[in-house]
Amino acid sequence: MKGNHALRFLAFALASLGLLALHQSGYLAPAEGLAAEPLAIAQSWLQARAQSVTALFETARDLQTLRQRAADLEKQNAALQVENVRLREELANYEAVSKLLDYTREHPQFQTIPADVIGYDSSNFLRSIIINKGAAAGVAPSMSVITERGLVGRVTAVSPSSAKVMLLIDPASAVNARLQTSRADGTVEGQLTPTLLMRFIPQEETVTVGDVVLTSGLGGNTPPGLVIGQVVNVERRDVDLFQTAEVHPTVDFNRLEIVLVITNFKPINVDVFHGNQP
């Protein structure tokens, strides 16, 4: 048994020496090349797969990084949009307040209280707004409300912290008015249309398109000289006692945000002079 092992070992050693001799002499080069080629192909394939797997992991990491950056940029963009809106709102508010301040400087005869518009009447037939100043700030019924562009309306109801203002365009509104050029008097009334109607203008008076309409102060309910609007159409018929004029208001009633309440003009009830009051 031991002899067989010795013979096998000797045969293996002689074969190894023979192969070594053949390798060194170069006779095994073609065979070695054929045997190495499949190994080289397999090695190349494995290396390519390893590189693909590595690239896949790197791509996944890059994609995650890009997604995180995109999310961060979206948050920054949203924050910038909010800031932009806030700054624009502050700028618009500043411009509105600046115009009102300019008006008060140019009309020192009026003492005014600024107020924000906090509500609109929801009725299709009534035109009124709610402001955030009331009796506690000195606002009282019948006080005139204006902007730098002209007359807005009059206070009709007051609470401690708010007030209701009937707009000039309300069908129930009527204000004594005067044409700036001819000085003809009449009454401006609200309508269900965007324009106002100036009635009771004497027939003999000349009314022209483009004439400015102001408050006359007659009746004692409104300060004189407040701008109401501009004549855009005149209707005059010889059979009528009076002529009428269509007036486009200077105030944009759809964009009221800040108004002024005139507090130093006290409306007068002139009915007492006609025996209508005890």
Per-residue pLDDT reduced to its tens digit, 115-170: 999 998 867 677 899 999 999 999 999 999 999 999 999 999 999 999 999 999 99
Higher-scoring residue by pLDDT: 271, 182: 182
Neighbour-count burial of 36, counting CB atoms closer than 10 A to its CB (0-12 exposed, 13-18 middle, 19+ buried): exposed
Contact 232, 198 (CB under 8 A): no
Share of the chain above pLDDT 90, in %: 49
Asked whether the predicted pLDDT for residue 68 surpasses 60, the reply is: yes
**CA–CA distance, 185 with 22 (Å, rounded to integer):** 132
**Which positions ≥6 away from 52 have C-beta within 8 Å?**
none
Phi-psi label, residue 131: left if phi above 0, alpha if psi -120 to 50, beta otherwise:
beta
Residue 150's nearest CA partner among 184, 107, 197 is 107
Cα–Cα distance for residue pair 143/115, rounded to 1 Å: 13
Q: Provide the residue ranges of all domains of the chain, joining segments of one domain with +.
A: 29-106, 112-268
Instruction: Give pLDDT, residue 73.
Output: 80
- Nearest alpha carbon to residue 133 among 114, 147, 120: 114
- Please write the tens of the pLDDT for every residue from 102-122: 888 888 999 999 999 999 886
Mean pLDDT of 17-45: 59
pLDDT bracket for residue 29 (50, 70, 90): low
Cross-strand bridge partners of residue 119: 130
Res 216: pLDDT: 95
Confidence of residue 257 (pLDDT cuts 50, 70, 90): very high
Q: Is the pLDDT of residue 264 over 80?
A: yes
Contact 261, 115 (CB under 8 A): yes
Strand partners, 245: 198, 234
Q: How high is the pLDDT of residue 62? A: 78
**Assigned architecture for domain 112-268:** Beta Barrel (2.40)
Q: What is the residue-averaged pLDDT of the chain? A: 82
Confidence band for 194, pLDDT divided at 50, 70 and 90: confident
